[in-house]
Structure 1
Amino acid sequence: MRLSRDWRRVLRRAWSVRLMALAILLTAAEVGVPYLGDLLPARLMSALAGLSAGGAFVARLIAQKEFEDENET
């Protein structure tokens, strides 16, 4: 396994990275859900974290415009 040459650019611009960061935040927020009682539906954070992780998977497979110029060479 090798680190990409433009890993800083990928970290800043790739939707897969953004969605995985969101999944991490939502998973961490699950810890506080029991303290909120009836304010949030049960398992909402789990569902949102799962959806964002799934979105990250799809985003990783789809070509993104910011990186198309690099793939053509």
Structure 2
Amino acid sequence: MMLIDDWRVVLRRAWSVKFNVAATLFGAAEVAVAIWQPPGMPNGVFAGGAAAVSIFANVSRIMAQKELNGTDK
């Protein structure tokens, strides 16, 4: 596996990376809710959020982003 030359720029600026981090946080929140089971918190709320954000991550991966002009090869 080889990284692209400007991987640090892509990691900081790419929307797909930001959305994937958000999906990870939603997934972790869903696990926490399942463990602690707070009253009034319906099951699957954060899992649904993680799914939605993951869709945005996949779509943003193929979109042109001004912040990454010429960086993602």
Global fold match (TM > 0.5): yes
Q: In structure 1, what is the Cα distance between the partners aligned to 2:48 and 2:55?
A: 11
Q: In structure 2, what is the Cα distance between the partners aligned to 1:33 and 1:58?
A: 28
Q: TM-score, normalised by structure 1?
A: 0.84
Give unmatched runs, 5+ long, in structure 2. Answer: none
Identical pairs, percent: 42
Q: In structure 2, what is the Cα distance between the partners aligned to 1:21 and 1:15?
A: 10
Residue pair 2:26, 2:50 contacting (<8 A) in 1 also: yes
The runs of at least 4 aligned residues of structure 1 exceeding 3 Å deviation read none
Relative contact order (alpha carbons < 8 A, sep ≥ 6): 1 or 2 greater?
A: 2
Q: CA RMSD, aligned part only?
A: 1.4
**Pairs aligned (count):** 69
